[in-house]
Structure 1
Amino acid sequence: MAHARFHKLAPERRQAILDAAADEFAEHGFDGASYNRIIEQAGYSKGVAYYYFEGKEDLYATVLEGTVARLVGLVGEWAPPGDAEAFWRELRRSYFALLDFVIADERSARLLRGLSQARLNPKLQAAWQRFEAPMLGWLQRVLADGRAVGAVRTDVPEDLLLAALMGVGQATDLWLLEQWGRAGAPAMRRGAEQVFSLFEDLATQRPPRKPAGPKKR
Structure 2
Amino acid sequence: MPVERRRQILDAATMLLARDGVDTASYNEILRTAKLPKASAYHYFDGRADLVETVAFDVATQLVAVFGPWSPQATTAGFRSTLAAGSERLTAHLLTHPEHLALSATVIPLEMSVPGPRAWVGDVVDNGRDLGLIRTDIDRELIVAATLATLQAVDSWAVARLAADPQLPVEPSVTITLLEGLWAPPRSRS
TM over 0.5: yes
Q: Determine whether 1:98 maps to 2:98.
A: no
d(CA) in 1 for partners of 2:83, 2:121:
10
Amino acid in the other structure paired with 1:188: P
What is the match of residue 172 of structure 1?
154
d(CA) in 2 for partners of 1:26, 1:36:
15
Deviations 1:58-90 (A, max 9, x none): 323332343244334433222111233322221
**Residue correspondence of structure 1 range 28-67 to structure 2 within 5 A:** 28-67=20-59
d(CA) in 1 for partners of 2:27, 2:52:
10
Deviations 1:32-77 (A, max 9, x none): 3332221111111111111122333332333234324433443322
d(CA) in 1 for partners of 2:106, 2:148:
17
Amino acid in the other structure paired with 2:59: T
Q: TM-score, normalised by structure 2?
A: 0.83
- Residue 17 to residue 180, structure 1, CA distance change in 2 (3 Å): same
Q: How many residues align?
A: 190
Deviations 1:140-178 (A, max 9, x none): 222122112222222322233223222222222222222
- Residue 171 to residue 208, structure 1, CA distance change in 2 (3 Å): closer
Is the 2:56–2:103 Cα contact (8 Å) retained in structure 1? Answer: yes
d(CA) in 2 for partners of 1:70, 1:128:
10
What is the match of residue 113 of structure 2?
130
Q: Determine whether 1:146 maps to 2:128.
A: yes
d(CA) in 1 for partners of 2:18, 2:164:
18
**Residue correspondence of structure 1 range 75-86 to structure 2 within 5 A:** 75-86=67-78
Secondary structure at the aligned position of 1:188 is classed as: coil
- RMSD of the TM alignment (CA)? 2.5
Identify the match of residue 14 of structure 1 among 6, 12, 31: 6
Gaps of 5+ in 1: 1-5, 120-126, 212-217
Identity over aligned pairs, percent: 28
Identify the match of residue 180 of structure 2 among 200, 211, 216: 200
- Residue 167 to residue 75, structure 1, CA distance change in 2 (3 Å): closer
Deviation at 1:105, TM superposition (A): 1.4
Deviation at 1:101, TM superposition (A): 1.0
- Residue 188 to residue 59, structure 1, CA distance change in 2 (3 Å): farther
What is the match of residue 189 of structure 1?
170
Gaps of 5+ in 2: none
- Residue 164 to residue 96, structure 1, CA distance change in 2 (3 Å): same
Deviations 1:182-211 (A, max 9, x none): 3333x2324x4323322222224x254226
d(CA) in 2 for partners of 1:92, 1:67:
22
What is the match of residue 214 of structure 1?
none
- Residue 32 to residue 129, structure 1, CA distance change in 2 (3 Å): farther
- Residue 75 to residue 170, structure 1, CA distance change in 2 (3 Å): closer
Is the 2:129–2:136 Cα contact (8 Å) retained in structure 1? Answer: yes
